[in-house]
Amino acid sequence: DIQMTQSPASLSASLEEIVTITCQASQDIGNWLSWYQQKPGKSPQLLIYGATSLADGVPSRFSGSRSGTQYSLKISRLQVEDIGIYYCLQAYSAPYTFGAGTKLELK
Amino acid sequence: EVQLVESGGGLVQPGRSLKLSCVASGFTFSNYGMNWIRQAPGKGLEWVAYISSGSSYIYYAETVKGRFTISRDNAKNTLYLQMTSLRSEDTALYYCARKNWGYYFDYWGQGVMVTVSS
């Protein structure tokens, strides 16, 4: 099974700050990594797919990158509406696996 | 507009069964694989099961294998999750989600709560 190790577990940042969240896959999953944002009481929303592609309607301050089996989600200038929990997902090989999540808070 | 609407949740005693449904609209349901994902209170996301567009491929998480059955009725645009031998650790909000051909979940339902307690 493919494990997804996500870090950090929590993150406190200021408005306009750059934020980076990472996921490490235990095996090669190519570019088949996606990122989701979940706000309190809401369903997860797709942010990034194919490691680097921005989902429809997602602000351009969000971006994704890949270096080998390490994947990163970057928020270039943190906004209030970006507060929530972020998850990575590999749905390339079953059993599909989510990262443990990163809780992003405002400092 | 793509919509996924789950139903069938509720309070159930340990060891009993429950069947969840997810009605899809706004897209050609028979063209997409579908998933169930759950989230225990205050916890992260856990993938539960996947079924391919024509039901040829079905996968389960180890935590539910042998107890849960995923199925679909393409004529009714409906995804199902039959849950048996329920345990307290199955208590969670259950989401259905569409799997895009690019190996990601592009649309999610609002979720349905399942509580397993005596």
What is the SS3 assignment for chain B?
CCEEEEECCEEECCCCCEEEEEEEECCCHHHCEEEEEEECCCCCEEEEEEECCCCCCEEECCCCCCCEEEEEECCCCEEEEEECCCCHHHCEEEEEEEEECCCEEEEECCCEEEEECC
Q: Which positions in chain B touch A91 (Cβ < 8 Å)?
A: 35, 47, 99, 103-105
Residue B39: band (very low, low, confident or very high) from pLDDT cuts 50, 70, 90: very high
Say if residue B85's pLDDT is above 90.
yes
DSSP A55: P
Nearest to B103 among A85, A91, A97 (CB): A91
Residue B102: band (very low, low, confident or very high) from pLDDT cuts 50, 70, 90: confident
Q: Which positions in chain A touch B45 (Cβ < 8 Å)?
A: 36, 38, 44, 87, 89, 98, 101
**A:B CB pairs within 8 Å:** 65
For the CA atoms of chain A, what is the radius of gyration?
Answer: 13
Is the CB of B100 less than 8 angstroms away from the CB of A94? no
- Six token digits for residue B44: 């992260």
Q: Please, what is the average pLDDT of chain B?
A: 98
Chain A closest-CA separation from residue B62 CA (Å): 8
B86 touches B18 (CB < 8 A) = yes
Is the CB of A46 less than 8 angstroms away from the CB of B99? no
What are the tens digits of pLDDT across the range A40-98? 999 999 999 999 999 999 999 999 999 999 999 999 999 999 999 999 999 999 999 99
Q: Mean pLDDT, to the nearest integer, of B23-30?
A: 98
Mutant choice from B38, B103, B106 vs A, greatest count of A C-beta within 10 A = B103
Q: Which positions in chain B touch A94 (Cβ < 8 Å)?
A: 50, 59
Q: Which positions in chain A touch B46 (Cβ < 8 Å)?
A: 98
Q: Mean pLDDT, to the nearest integer, of B31-57?
A: 97
Q: What is the pLDDT of residue B68?
A: 98
Please, how many CA atoms are within 13 Å of residue A34, restricted to the half-sphere of its CB?
A: 23
Q: What is the pLDDT of residue B95?
A: 98
Q: Mean pLDDT, to the nearest integer, of B80-86?
A: 98
Share of chain A above pLDDT 90, in %: 100
Q: What is the pLDDT of residue B44?
A: 98
Residues in chain A whose Cβ is within 8 Å of chain B: 32, 34, 36, 38, 43-46, 49-50, 55, 85, 87, 89-92, 94-101
Q: How many CB atoms lie within 10 A of CB B106?
A: 19
C-alpha angle B100/A90/B111, rounded to 5°? 65
Residue A80 backbone phi and psi in degrees, to 5: -60, -40
